[in-house]
Amino acid sequence: MKKKKHPIQKIRKPMPPPTKKEIDKKKEEEKNLARKKVDPKEEGLE
């Protein structure tokens, strides 16, 4: 008997290169995360 492969493997496609918009969005999110790490105290005071 042959082993059945998981169907997920067939569906999986290589990810398309990110668009400029997606890159910009990622940078914004990273900036926001960095800002939160820098001043967690200020957020707690409000």
pLDDT digits (tens, 9 = 90+) for 24-43: 999 999 998 887 776 666 65
C-alpha torsion 32→35→36→42, nearest 10: -130
Q: Between 7 and 20, where is the model more confident?
A: 20
Q: Between 16 and 41, where is the model more confident?
A: 16
Mean pLDDT of 4-19: 69
State the pTM of this model: 0.41
Mean per-residue pLDDT of the chain = 74
Using the structure block, give the residue that is written with the tokens 């990110």: 18
What percent of the chain is helix, strand and coil (3-state, nearest 5)? 65, 0, 35
Q: Which two tokens stand for residue 45?
A: 């005071």
